[in-house]
């Protein structure tokens, strides 16, 4: 009980600190402290607690919505009409009474506000309008120079920007969507220089009362029989699975239709990437000069779609088509726009999909300049008979030939069914938030880009599937991967667009894994199946002992999985309901957090448990299970020292974003017959609670890890190679040697990128407790 008391004392403290918000006054209180939630009163409480002299006019409301169990509001602090980065007041109130449930604020104090106001006056004296073409051109020139330096992703498919105060400077933050990830760039508007620039890949597979059951088809929907994989086509050990009978539910009886690309009219002008501008592209003056904004294009595309003909999606002989496409309440499924031209030999003519998906291409063959081509996509093979989805073959081809798979038409059936299953399973355990729990996801199959091969990725309400090499799995037939990728979407919806994770983003990967685990529990009712113990969420990985987002996610996901197992053991099937409801309520209570850490995530989970949920969870009934799930994972309370596992290269630790990381591999060149050499140092030290049992084995893995194998390494044939640390004072010196010849190319420029996996294995362990990655990139001049 002592640990529980300590943690709840920490939780109820009003003044708390948030990583990354140094110098900020951070307050938190709950309805147990004060039930009043009117905004004037909230500001008064903040002034009383922090000694500030803020007024309600210092803020503006940017979000005001009902969630499943409470109402949420978010106010942003402002200076001279511009927001202050990550400085907010967030309120959760009772849906029925308006009483406060939780209030959290992270705000600038009076002294710093006065400094910002003075800086605002200085900038105003320059007579430069923030919306001016002069300023925008300068900003975009700086941003585009950064994007052009990226080795793999130089496209600028969508730009969002916001002017705000950040760390005492007036900045413009740009969120530039590329083909495979996001460029996040911050530019000082006073000095006109780039302050920071990072790149984040899209999330990838890397491999009350009881809730109502999901509604059946309504009068505008219908179902068809199908034969689908209940979990996946094959296990990681390549054991083929058997399909089962099911239904493709909630198919729409009416769908928008077009015999040509419905968005051709949008192609009457050219959309150069250098002219994309989220501000000027919204003005008539800017558009006249060739500027454009993706948000404007999406609005125009939606208007075009709404004016298309609604036609029967039916097998009826009186239907204009007499076939069914996979479009329904929760999912639409299309082919990737490039798939039809990339893969020849289709034995049917794909019809036009009205799903809008902008495509990108170079202006000319040898041009470094790109253009956005607005358009629709294509539909897969239509269903021509009542039992077509049931009878479709599900061949597992040795080469995963995309043309043959498109001709077979099975993958889109599996994906549609999988998305429906996700919604139905999560609705049953508490995902009932208005609009958020019903907005459909859009799937695109067979992205031919080599940089995305052997993967699936999520972005902006879409799940995207790629092509696959012979030894890979087809992720369009792997429900667990589909549910993981869409788990990112569930988390995005519940936790908000303004959420800031204070670590590498491991929470996102861990919660995506856990959303998939919840769906699996609902689908299987806890009954074991082939490969059930092979998921990465079943692990011993500790917090703060990794340096890559998927590995970081293992600690989060592993702790949550341990909680789920314990809850099922105590309450049976009701335990899944309780943990699912608790998890989603924790996401809501962390909505738009400005600096969420592991400690704060689990403190909010304890608070959600403390609140309970009538008819589902009693207050505090899972407190002991939550705390037990964290034991043995290097989780720390109140600034206790953590255990550490470090790898260093050239005297610098290899961290999640520095040289040697996934998005910042160390480039090198070597002759095809030579090896390049890299020296690493490895250490492991104890924490206050987490102790490493020496001697401990260090394993270096060169192949068979997630997306591993493109490069060739010396000693690869002996992988994993084992070493030993005998004490905390030991330093293991590793010499890593990478060949000048790729085993296979995995980048569009002809280069290859890969990593060595350095893992810590205690004696007799079945899984590692710590793992670090070291990434390299062999430059294309020396490719095989």
d(CA 453, CA 342): 14
pLDDT of residue 324: 94
Residue 248 has pLDDT above 50, yes or no: yes
| Backbone φ, ψ for residue 412 (5° rounding) | -65, -30
Question: Could you tell me the pLDDT band of residue 784, with boundaries at 50, 70 and 90?
Answer: very low
In this structure, are residues 372 and 295 in contact, taking their beta carbons and an 8 Å threshold?
no
pLDDT at 434 over 60: yes
Query: Residue 781: what pLDDT?
Result: 65
pLDDT at 14: 37
Q: Give the SS3 label for residue 552.
A: helix
Return the closest-CA partner of residue 756 out of 643, 645, 671, 647.
647
Give phi and psi for 581, each to the nearest 5. -65, -40
| Ranges assigned E (strand) in 337-453 | 352-353, 359-362, 370-373, 377-378, 441-445
Indicate whether 614 pLDDT > 90.
yes
Residue 4 has pLDDT above 50, yes or no: no
Taking alpha carbons only, the member of 174, 180, 181, 179 closest to residue 145 is: 174
pLDDT tier, 155 (very low <50, low <70, confident <90, very high otherwise): confident
Residue 313 is predicted with a pLDDT of 93
CA-closest candidate to residue 775, choices 753, 758, 747 = 753
Q: What is the pLDDT of residue 205?
A: 63
* Sheet of strand 711-713, all strands in order from the earlier edge strand to the far edge: 652-653, 644-649, 675-685, 732-742, 711-713
Distance, in Å, from the CA atom of 315 to the CA atom of 403, rounded to the nearest integer, reads 26
pLDDT value of position 3: 35
| Residue whose C-alpha is closest to residue 201's, from 515, 443, 444, 459 | 459
C-beta atoms surrounding 764 within 10 Å: 6
Q: In DSSP terms, which residues pair with 458 in a beta bridge? A: 463
Neighbours of 742 (CB within 10 A): 22
Residue 228 has pLDDT above 80, yes or no: yes
pLDDT tens profile 538-585: 999 999 999 998 999 999 999 999 999 999 999 999 999 999 999 999
What pTM does this model have? 0.85
Whole-angstrom CA distances from 216 to 213, 250, 411, 523, 669 are 9, 8, 24, 17, 59
Q: Are 405 and 446 in contact (CB under 8 A)?
A: yes
- 506-524 and 479-495 helices cross at what angle (nearest 10)? 120
Classify strands 652-653 and 675-685 as parallel, antiparallel or unpaired: unpaired
Query: How, if at all, do strands 696-701 and 721-725 pair?
Result: antiparallel
pLDDT of residue 215: 57
Burial class (CB in 10 A: 0-12, 13-18, 19+), 305: middle
Look at residue 134 and tell me whether its pLDDT is greater than 80. Answer: no
Q: pLDDT digits over 99-132, tens only?
A: 999 999 999 988 888 888 888 887 777 767 776 7
Give dist(CA 322, CA 314) in Å, integer.
6
Q: Which two tokens stand for residue 226?
A: 């199908």
Q: In the structure, what pLDDT confidence band is assigned to residue 161 with cuts at 50, 70 and 90?
A: confident
Q: To the nearest whole percent, how much of the chain has pLDDT over 70?
A: 93
Q: How far is CA 545 from the centre of its chain?
A: 21
Q: Are 88 and 78 in contact (CB under 8 A)?
A: no
Between 450 and 660, where is the model more confident? Answer: 660
Residues 6+ apart with CB under 8 A from 187: 139, 142, 143, 171, 172, 174, 193, 194, 195
Nearest CA to 374 out of 464, 285, 294 is that of 294
Beta bridge partners of 105: 27, 89
CA dihedral 695, 696, 700, 703 (to 10 degrees): 140
769 within 8 A of 762, measured Cβ to Cβ: yes
Q: Which of 721, 717, 713, 783 is nearest to 752 (CA)?
A: 783
Q: Which of 393-402, 451-460, 507-516, 691-700 has the lowest mean pLDDT?
A: 451-460
Percentage of the residues of the chain whose pLDDT score is greater than 90: 65
Q: What is the structure's pLDDT at 319?
A: 55
Query: Span 475-488, mean pLDDT?
Result: 96
Question: Tens of pLDDT along 13-68?
Answer: 333 433 344 458 899 999 999 999 999 999 999 999 999 999 999 998 989 999 99
Find out whether 591 and 494 touch, Cβ atoms under 8 Å.
yes
What is the rounded average pLDDT for all residues in the chain? Answer: 89
Tokens of 741: 């010849």
Place of tokens 């959309």: 271
Closest CA relative to residue 418, chosen from 380, 377, 461, 475: 475
Segment 349-390, tens digit of pLDDT: 999 999 988 887 788 766 777 888 898 899 999 999 999 999
Closest CA to 145 of 105, 197, 108: 197
Alpha-carbon distance of 663 to 678, in angstroms, equals: 18
The CA-to-CA distance between both ends of the chain, in Å, stands at 61
Residue with the larger pLDDT of the pair 753 and 283: 753
Q: In this predicted structure, what is the pLDDT of residue 16?
A: 40
- What is the biggest distance separating any 2 CA atoms in the chain, rounded to whole angstroms? 80
Report pLDDT digits (tens) over 677-715: 999 999 999 999 999 999 999 999 999 888 899 999 999
**Kind of pairing between the strands at 441-445 and 462-465:** parallel
Alpha carbons within 13 A on the beta-carbon side of 408:
19
Residue identified by tokens 């789920």 is 564
Q: Which residues, 6 or more positions from 665, have their beta carbon under 8 angstroms from its beta carbon?
A: 753, 755, 775, 776, 777
DSSP letter for each residue of 485-539: HHHHHHHHHHH-TT--BSSSSHHHHHHHHHHHHHHHHHHHTT---TTTT-STTS-
Mean pLDDT score, 656-662: 92
pLDDT tier for residue 749 given thresholds of 50, 70 and 90 = confident
Question: Omega before 695 cis (within 30°)?
Answer: yes
The average pLDDT across 591-614 equals 95
Region label for 486, one of left (φ > 0), alpha (ψ between -120 and 50) or beta (otherwise): alpha
What pLDDT band is residue 624 in, cutting at 50, 70 and 90? very high
- Enter the tokens of residue 341: 């031209």
* Three-state secondary structure of 143-177: HHHHHHCCCCCCCCCEEEEEEEEECCEEEEEEEEE
CA nearest neighbour of 422 among 302, 250, 258:
250
Task: Please tell me the distance from the alpha carbon of residue 507 to that of residue 494, in angstroms, as a whole number.
Answer: 14
Query: What is the DSSP code string of 657-702?
Result: SSTTBTTBPEEE---TT-EEEEEEEEEEE--SS----SSEEEEEE-
Helix (H) or strand (E) holding 27: strand 25-30
Give the C-alpha separation, 30 to 194, whole Å: 40
* C-alpha–C-alpha distance, residues 625 and 608, integer Å: 14
- The answer on pLDDT for 616 being more than 90 is yes
Band the pLDDT of 1: cuts 50, 70, 90. very low
């Amino acid at each position: 009980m002592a640990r529980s008391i300590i943690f709840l004392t920490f939780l109820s403290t009003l003044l708390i600190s948030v990583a990354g918000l140094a110098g900020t006054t951070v307050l938190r209180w709950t309805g147990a402290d004060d039930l009043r939630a009117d905004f004037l009163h909230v500001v008064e409480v903040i002034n009383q607690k922090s000694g500030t002299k803020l007024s309600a006019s210092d803020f503006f409301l940017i979000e005001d919505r009902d969630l499943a169990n409470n109402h949420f509001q978010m106010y942003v602090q402002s200076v001279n009409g511009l927001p202050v980065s990550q400085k907010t007041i967030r309120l959760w109130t009772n849906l029925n009474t308006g009483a406060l449930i939780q209030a959290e604020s992270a705000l600038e104090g009076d002294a710093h506000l006065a400094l910002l106001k003075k800086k605002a006056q200085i900038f105003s004296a320059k007579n430069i309008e923030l919306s001016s073409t002069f300023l925008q051109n300068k900003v975009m020139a700086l941003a585009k120079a950064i994007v052009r330096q990226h080795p793999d992703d130089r496209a600028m498919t969508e730009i969002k920007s916001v002017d705000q105060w950040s760390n005492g400077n007036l900045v413009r933050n740009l969120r530039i969507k590329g083909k495979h990830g996001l460029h996040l760039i911050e530019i000082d508007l006073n000095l006109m220089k780039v302050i920071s620039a990072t790149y984040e890949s899209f999330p990838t597979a890397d491999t009350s009362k009881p809730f109502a059951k999901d509604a059946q088809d309504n009068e505008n929907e219908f179902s068809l029989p199908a034969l689908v994989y209940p979990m996946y086509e094959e296990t990681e050990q390549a054991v083929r699975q058997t399909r089962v009978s099911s239904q493709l539910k909630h198919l729409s009886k009416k769908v928008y239709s077009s015999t040509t690309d419905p968005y051709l009219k949008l192609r009457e002008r050219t959309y150069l990437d250098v002219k994309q501008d989220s501000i000027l592209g919204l003005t008539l003056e800017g558009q006249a000069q060739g500027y454009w904004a993706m948000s404007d294009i999406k609005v125009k595309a939606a208007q075009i779609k709404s004016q298309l003909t609604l036609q029967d999606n039916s097998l009826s002989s009186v239907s204009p088509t007499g076939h069914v496409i996979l479009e329904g309440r929760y999912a639409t499924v299309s082919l990737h726009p490039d798939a039809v031209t990339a893969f020849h030999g289709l034995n049917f003519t794909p019809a036009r999909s009205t799903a809008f998906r902008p495509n990108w291409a170079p202006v000319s063959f040898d041009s470094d300049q790109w253009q956005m081509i607005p358009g629709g996509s294509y539909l897969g093979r239509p269903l021509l008979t009542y039992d077509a989805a049931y009878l479709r073959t599900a061949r597992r081809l040795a080469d995963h030939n995309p043309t043959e798979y498109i001709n077979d038409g099975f993958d889109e059936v599996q994906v549609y069914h999988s998305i429906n299953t996700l919604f139905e399973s999560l609705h049953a355990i508490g995902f009932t938030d208005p609009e958020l729990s019903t907005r459909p996801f859009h799937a695109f199959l067979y992205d031919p880009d080599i940089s995305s091969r052997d993967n699936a990725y999520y972005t902006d309400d879409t799940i995207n599937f790629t092509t696959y090499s012979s030894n890979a799995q087809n992720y369009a037939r792997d429900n667990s991967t589909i549910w993981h990728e869409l788990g990112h979407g569930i988390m995005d919806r519940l936790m908000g667009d303004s959420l800031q994770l204070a670590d590498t983003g491991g929470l996102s990967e861990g919660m995506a894994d856990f959303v998939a685990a919840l769906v699996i529990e609902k689908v299987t009712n806890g009954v074991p199946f082939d490969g059930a113990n092979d998921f990465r969420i079943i692990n011993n990985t500790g917090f703060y002992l990794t340096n890559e987002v998927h590995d970081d996610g293992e600690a989060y996901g592993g702790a949550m999985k341990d909680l789920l197992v314990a809850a099922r053991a105590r309450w049976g099937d009701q335990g899944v309901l309780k943990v699912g409801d608790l998890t989603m309520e924790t996401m809501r209570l962390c909505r738009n957090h400005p600096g969420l850490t592991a400690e704060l995530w689990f403190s909010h989970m304890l608070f959600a448990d403390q609140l309970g949920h009538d008819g589902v969870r009693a207050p505090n009934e899972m407190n002991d299970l939550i705390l037990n799930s964290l034991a043995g994972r290097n989780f720390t309370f109140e600034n206790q020292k953590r255990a550490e596992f470090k790898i260093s290269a050239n005297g610098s630790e290899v961290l999640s974003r520095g040289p040697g990381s996934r998005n910042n591999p160390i480039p090198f060149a070597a002759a095809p017959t030579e090896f390049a050499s890299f020296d690493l140092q490895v250490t492991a030290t104890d924490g206050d609670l987490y102790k490493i049992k020496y001697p401990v084995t260090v394993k270096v893995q060169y192949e068979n890890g997630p997306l591993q194998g493109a490069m060739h390494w010396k000693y690869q044939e002996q992988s994993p190679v084992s070493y030993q640390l005998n004490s905390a004072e030991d330093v293991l010196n590793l010499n890593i040697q990478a060949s000048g010849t790729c085993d296979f190319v995995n980048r569009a420029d002809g280069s290859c990128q890969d990593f060595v996996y350095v893992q810590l294995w205690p004696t007799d362990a079945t899984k590692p407790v710590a793992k670090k990655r070291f990434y390299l990139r062999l430059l294309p001049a020396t490719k095989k």
